[in-house]
């Protein structure tokens, strides 16, 4: 069986370019005991993968070798199984790579037999009902200890994690404030999502004043997707005993060697802030609750699963380059078999 994959051709410097990627073809090998073969229908495009394309050993994710398949979360229909937990026709999800067929084995990170609800688009299982949504849910509820009445600020609030997070905060009875990088994104989160306030950090001449105006009593929770200037400006704008949820540092991913210098760390003491990093997949005990709640909100229409869908494996590099250029909204996914009805 022929498999098409996208591999790393060369290491990017700054924002990736098409020449960093190469499409290759190969044969799918025979399954070993415990493994399943899935035909991928959709895969996620994630910013954390950018760090795996650098040759460095200070991340929580391993570096991808030159010639290695670009890693990602995939979702596909099981076409062969030597694992009692999966039968043909099931949907398997796991962290494998940009490829048309994947072999999942129990050693893969986040392998799951996903029970697909036909009333929910399949792509949502990669985004709002996948690890982006789960990350937002776990981060706000467990790490941020979000409570009704809190003021919750979300950076990259129109992005994959942020678009779910700012809506979850609103649906949980909080004042939800989103920080975004364009007027269109600001209009999306206030107009379409119904978030209380949006701040366009690129257009604001005084970001600190804009945050103070949107959060007059300070932020109880700041969900940080970007680090950099926005984190630095949020530190003095936290309420006493505020919680900063460190989800990611997007502002530094394209230039790890020269990260933005944080000047306001002293405010951690002044505002008695708890700042805590987390990896969503280390909170598997919350998976069932997160999937049930996010699924119920999506089905009822209370939560909008914003998506940016590209079709065809050959277009995955462009989708990734767009994501890393900051121009996308919602979850960026690649569909591999558009038009094929599988549900």
Ligand X SMILES: NC(=O)c1ccc[n+]([C@@H]2O[C@H](COP(=O)([O-])OP(=O)(O)OC[C@H]3O[C@@H](n4cnc5c(N)ncnc54)[C@H](OP(=O)(O)O)[C@@H]3O)[C@@H](O)[C@H]2O)c1
Binding residues (CB under 6 A) for ligand X: these are 46-48, 132, 135, 156, 158-162, 180-182, 185, 225-226, 247-251, 254, 278-280, 323-324, 326, 328
Enumerate residues 6+ apart whose C-beta is below 8 A from 276. 143, 243, 244, 245, 246
Q: Least Å distance between CB 127 and ligand X?
A: 9
Q: Residue 285, by phi and psi: left (phi above 0), alpha (psi -120 to 50) or beta?
A: alpha
Query: Could you tell me the smallest distance in angstroms from the CB atom of residue 232 to ligand X?
Result: 13
- Residue (25 or 285) nearer to ligand X, CB: 285
Cβ closer to ligand X: 105 or 254?
254
DSSP state of 181: S
Alpha helices (H) in the chain, listed in sequence order: 48-52, 131-138, 160-171, 183-187, 207-214, 228-234, 250-253, 267-270, 287-300, 316-324
Judged by beta carbon, residue 33 or residue 258, the one nearer ligand X is 258
Residue 311 forms beta bridges with which residues? 335
CB of 79 to ligand X, least distance (A): 28
Nearest distance from C-beta of residue 240 to ligand X, angstroms: 26
Cβ of residue 283: shortest distance to ligand X, in angstroms?
Answer: 9
CA distances, 260 to each of 50, 65, 145, 255 (Å): 17, 27, 27, 9
Alpha helices in 40-79 (DSSP H): 48-52
CB 69 to ligand X: min, Å: 19
Distance CA 343, CA 341 (A): 6
Of 36 and 146, the one with the shorter C-beta distance to ligand X is 146
Contact 197, 223 (CB under 8 A): no
In the bound state with ligand X, the residue whose beta carbon lies nearer, of 83 and 132, is 132
User: Which H helix or E strand runs over 272?
Assistant: none
**CA neighbor of 155 nearest in space, from 191, 192, 185, 193:** 185
Q: Which is nearer to ligand X, 212 or 276 (CB)?
A: 276
Minimum CB separation of residue 324 from ligand X in Å reads 6
Q: Identify how many contiguous H helices and E strands the chain contains and give both numbers.
A: 10, 15
Beta carbon nearer to ligand X, 210 or 239 = 210
């Amino acid at each position: 069986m022929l498999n098409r994959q996208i591999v790393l051709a060369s290491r990017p410097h700054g924002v990736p370019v098409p020449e960093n990627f190469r499409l290759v073809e190969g044969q799918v090998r025979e399954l070993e005991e415990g493994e399943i073969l899935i035909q991928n229908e959709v895969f996620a495009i994630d910013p954390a993968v950018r760090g795996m394309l650098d040759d460095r050993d200070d991340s929580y994710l391993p570096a991808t070798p030159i010639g290695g398949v670009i890693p990602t979360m995939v979702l596909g229909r099981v076409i062969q199984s030597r694992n009692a937990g999966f039968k043909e026709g099931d949907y398997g999800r796991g962290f494998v790579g940009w490829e048309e067929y994947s072999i999942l084995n129990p050693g893969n990170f986040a392998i799951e037999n996903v029970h697909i609800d036909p009333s929910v688009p399949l792509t949502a299982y990669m985004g709002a009902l996948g690890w982006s949504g789960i990350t937002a849910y776990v981060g706000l509820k467990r790490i941020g200890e979000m409570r009704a009445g809190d003021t919750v600020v979300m950076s990259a609030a129109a992005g994959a994690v942020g678009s779910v997070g700012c809506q979850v905060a609103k649906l949980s009875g909080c004042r939800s404030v989103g920080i975004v990088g364009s007027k269109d994104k600001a209009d999306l989160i206030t107009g379409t999502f119904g978030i209380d306030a949006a701040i366009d950090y690129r257009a604001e001449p005084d970001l600190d004043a804009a945050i103070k105006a949107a959060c007059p009593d300070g932020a109880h929770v700041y969900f940080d997707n970007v680090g950099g200037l926005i984190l630095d400006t949020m530190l003095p704008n936290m309420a006493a005993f505020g919680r900063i949820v460190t989800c990611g540092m997007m502002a530094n991913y394209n230039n790890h060697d020269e990260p933005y210098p944080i000047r306001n760390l002293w405010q951690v003491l002044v505002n008695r802030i708890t700042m805590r990093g987390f990896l969503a997949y280390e909170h598997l005990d919350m998976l069932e609750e997160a999937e049930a709640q996010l699924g119920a909100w999506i089905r009822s229409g209370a939560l909008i699963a914003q998506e940016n869908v590209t079709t065809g494996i050959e277009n995955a590099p462009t989708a990734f380059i767009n994501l890393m250029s900051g121009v996308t909204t919602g979850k960026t996914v690649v569909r591999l078999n558009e038009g094929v009805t599988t549900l």
